[in-house]
Amino acid sequence: MTIPSLLLAFTCATLYGAGFHLWQGGGSRRLALYLLAGWLGFALGHLVGDALGIQVMKIGQVNWFTASVGSALALLAARVLARSEMLNQGGK
């Protein structure tokens, strides 16, 4: 991937994570969790799209569709994990 493609992907994944945090709320630990989940999910989704040869909504070298789906799945998984952690701590 080229530098502009990496910057676009990083920016979009960051926006997904930050937007999810804005929607779901939480402190700085949740923000870090959602940003990390957005980045990892976006990267894994892109790689899966490349491996499977999926070319839907490809922008430059970024498999936009599969990367966005991967990011969404990772963010939802992070939300479930964060909720279960909160419930295990007694609802703090």
Query: In this predicted model, which residue has the larger pLDDT, 9 or 92?
Result: 9
SS (HEC) of 55-82:
CCCEECCEEHHHHHHHHHHHHHHHHHHH
Q: pTM for this structure?
A: 0.87
Could you state, in order of their start, the residue ranges of all structural domains in the chain? Answer: 3-88
Residue 17 has pLDDT above 70, yes or no: yes
From residue 17, alpha-carbon distances to 44, 64, 91 in Å are 15, 15, 23
Alpha-carbon distance 45 to 62, whole Å?
10
Give the pLDDT confidence of 46-84 residue by residue, as tens digits.
999 999 998 888 888 899 999 999 999 999 999 998 887
